[in-house]
Each structure stands twice: as C-alpha cells, then as structure tokens.
C-alpha cells in the first residue's frame, strides 16, 4: 500500500483516537498541574434553627474575581503528584530514613492512601489475572469434552457471572457473606466463632474480593479459550494420540502452544481490566480494608467538600502510567515476535 493511501485509510480512526483519547488525556494532564484558587474567607454571624454563632464563610465575590483572572486555577506544577494523597514524597523520605525494619516500612506505607490503593490494585491484578486464565482454560477444556447436546445450556450458565452487572453481582455476594447471610452465617457455624466476619478482617476482605474477581472474569477467559479450542488442528492431536500421548500430554504439548497467542491477548485485556478494579469495592463496602486507584479517583470526585479535580487528575495520570508499565513487557514481546515472523 502506498503511504498516501495508508494515510487516508487510517485518517478517520486516527482522528477519532485524537479526539476521544489524546485530547481527554491531555486535558487531564493539564488539570493535574493546577489546584484551586485561594479562597477568600470572612467571618460572619450565622443564625438558624439552633441559634446564632460566628462562623467563617467563603467571600464568593472576591473568590470569583481571582477565578476570572486565572480560569485554570493556581499553577502547582507537580506539587499535587508529590503530596500526601499521591506519591507522598516527604512522608516516604521520613519512613525510609527512620524505621524499625521492613515490617515497619510496610505498615507505615499502607497508612498512606496512594500506596494502600496501589498495594491492593497490584495484588488484585497479579492474582486475579493468572488464576482467572487458569480457571477459564480448565472450564473450556471440560466443556469441550462434554456431549454436544448439553454444551449450549452449560456454556450459558458458565457465562452468567460475566453477564451479571459487576455492581449487582458484588451486591448479591455481599448480602450472602453478611454475618446474617447464608455464607457468613454458615462460616460462623462451621468454625464456631461468632466474631468471624469476612467483612471485618483486611486479609479476608482481600481474599473475598480476589475470589469475586476470579468468579466474575473467568467466563471471559473461558469464552476466548473455548473458541480457540475449536481451531486446534485435529490431525496433530490424532498423531499425538498415535504416538501414545495421554490426554494431559496432548493438552500440554499440542493445545497450550497452539493457544499461546490467544493467551497473550486474554492476559493483556485482563491485566488492563483488573488494574482498574472498582465496582467490587463499592459493592462490598470494602473501602475500610481495600481501596484501589480507580476508587481513589471516584472518592476525590464524590466528596462532601466539593470535587478535587486536580487530585483526581493526578491519580488518573498515575494510573495510566501504571497500566503502561504493566503492559510494556507483554507489548515488547509481541513486537519482537511479530518482527521475527515478518523476517
């Protein structure tokens, strides 16, 4: 294809990408460098149903003047990135320069909101992604071995966790694990411990969210792998059988290598999806024990004291950088592989 043709062929999608991806990310980047104007405060008498008291209020006219002069807000540079709610550079320095060993460092890091969210996000991503793929592959193999007539209904049932809206799925499980719910009450009876609660302990909350994540996303891996299984060449499988390979060896030496490119694709999608984990934290009211980067952004935009756009934008940029770092090794491998193929 000539370069000119290629350009015009790509132009519409390139334009859409610029409009809907590059421009929004650019605006977030700019937003994250600014904080709100200084608010002019005055003390006034405030009277209501409970009597009068002296309280401060914002002088809106004076603040509006400041705002008209600088519509973007006060320039703060990377200040927002370095503050306590994000990378917490000062706090990090204090922790590293004076601590009682790795345990103390970890405990104090978990006390900083960004690192707390990052820790759960990474744990979730790196546990849910491989386990999800393993479970999805196992289910695909099992269903592929079923008699033809029963496949349809079984596939539909297997897909249900993925079809259910994430928030709804999380809420249903949340009510079941409540200490009055069927799972919560059963666990208490089994272990004979009335204080046992999946919602109270941080470790159990993490485990519960991760199990939920695997349950919810495994059908996606299953569907892709199941489709892939239909393309495994039957003559290779048959010759492997003639060579005396048992079922396990056939899976390991024929099916798995055949599905490897597909696995890379599933892995990429799952990594990106899991890194943005959000719904189960809301659904399970789990923010006491587990927060994620996406939850931090939501929390900044949904506060009582107005919306902290700069802070949310900074977390968004950091999340984007995180996704890029996560995907780099996989992308480099794919690029190298495609390079080899074309040579």
Residues near other proteins (CB under 8 A) are 35-39, 41-50, 53, 55-58, 60-61, 63-64, 74, 80, 83-85, 91, 111, 113, 178-180, 194-200, 202, 284-289, 299, 301-308, 310-311
Phi-psi region of 201 (alpha: psi -120 to 50; beta: other; left: phi over 0): beta
Phi, psi of 54, rounded to the nearest 5 degrees: -85, 125
The nearest distance, CB 178 to other proteins, in angstroms, is 7
Q: For residues 310 and 34, is the Cβ–Cβ distance under 8 A?
A: yes
**Judged by CB, which is closer to other proteins: 196, or 241?**
196
The nearest distance, CB 99 to other proteins, in angstroms, is 14
The nearest distance, CB 166 to other proteins, in angstroms, is 18
**Judged by CB, which is closer to other proteins: 138, or 181?**
181
The nearest distance, CB 38 to other proteins, in angstroms, is 5
Phi, psi of 209, rounded to the nearest 5 degrees: -65, -40
Of 275, 327, 316, 324, nearest to 29 by C-alpha is 316
Of 293, 292, 291, 280, nearest to 321 by C-alpha is 293
**Judged by CB, which is closer to other proteins: 129, or 319?**
319
**H helices present in 18-78, as ranges:** 23-31, 60-69
**Judged by CB, which is closer to other proteins: 18, or 58?**
58
DSSP state string for 79-143: HHHHSTTTT-HHHHHHHHHS-SSHHHHHHHHTTSHHHHHHHHHHHHHHHHHHHHHHHHHHHHHHH
**Judged by CB, which is closer to other proteins: 178, or 236?**
178
Distance CA 174, CA 177 (A): 5
Q: Are strands 34-35 and 74-75 parallel, antiparallel or unpaired?
A: antiparallel
Phi, psi of 65, rounded to the nearest 5 degrees: -60, -50
The nearest distance, CB 320 to other proteins, in angstroms, is 20
The nearest distance, CB 67 to other proteins, in angstroms, is 10
The nearest distance, CB 62 to other proteins, in angstroms, is 10
**Judged by CB, which is closer to other proteins: 199, or 236?**
199
Return the H-helix or E-strand segment holding 330: helix 309-342
**Judged by CB, which is closer to other proteins: 193, or 243?**
193
Cα–Cα distances (Å) from 239 to 191, 235, 254, 274, in that order, read 52, 6, 10, 39
């Amino acid at each position: 294809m000539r370069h000119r043709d290629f350009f015009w062929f790509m132009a519409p999608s390139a334009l859409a990408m610029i409009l809907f991806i590059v421009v929004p990310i650019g605006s977030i980047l700019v937003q994250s460098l600014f904080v709100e104007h200084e608010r002019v405060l005055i003390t006034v008498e405030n009277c209501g149903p409970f009597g009068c008291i002296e309280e401060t209020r914002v002088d809106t006219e004076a603040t509006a003047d400041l705002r008209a002069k600088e519509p973007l807000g006060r320039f703060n540079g990377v200040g927002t990135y370095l503050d306590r709610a994000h990378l917490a550079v000062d706090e990090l320095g204090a922790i590293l320069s004076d601590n009682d060993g790795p345990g103390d460092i970890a405990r104090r890091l978990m006390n900083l909101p960004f690192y707390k969210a990052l820790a759960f996000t990474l744990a979730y991503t790196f546990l849910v992604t491989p386990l999800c793929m393993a479970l999805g592959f196992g289910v695909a193999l099992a269903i592929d071995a079923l008699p033809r007539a029963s496949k349809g209904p079984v596939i539909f049932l297997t897909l249900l966790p993925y079809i259910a809206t994430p928030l709804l799925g999380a809420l249903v499980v949340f009510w079941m694990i409540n200490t009055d719910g069927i799972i919560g009450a059963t666990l208490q009876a089994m272990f004979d411990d009335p204080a046992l609660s999946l919602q109270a302990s941080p470790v159990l909350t993490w485990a519960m969210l991760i199990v939920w994540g695997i349950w919810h996303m495994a059908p996606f891996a299953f569907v892709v792998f199941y489709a892939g299984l239909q393309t495994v060449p039957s003559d290779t499988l048959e010759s492997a059988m003639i060579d005396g390979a048992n079922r396990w060896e056939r899976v390991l030496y024929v099916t798995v290598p055949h599905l490897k490119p597909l696995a890379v694709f599933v892995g990429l999608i799952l990594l990106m999806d899991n890194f943005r984990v959000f719904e189960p934290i809301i659904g399970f009211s789990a923010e006491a024990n587990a927060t994620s980067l996406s939850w931090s952004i939501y929390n900044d935009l949904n506060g009582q004291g107005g919306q902290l756009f700069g802070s949310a934008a900074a977390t968004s940029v950091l999340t984007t950088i995180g996704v890029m770092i996560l995907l780099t090794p996989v992308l480099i491998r794919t690029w190298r592989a495609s390079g080899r193929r074309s040579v």
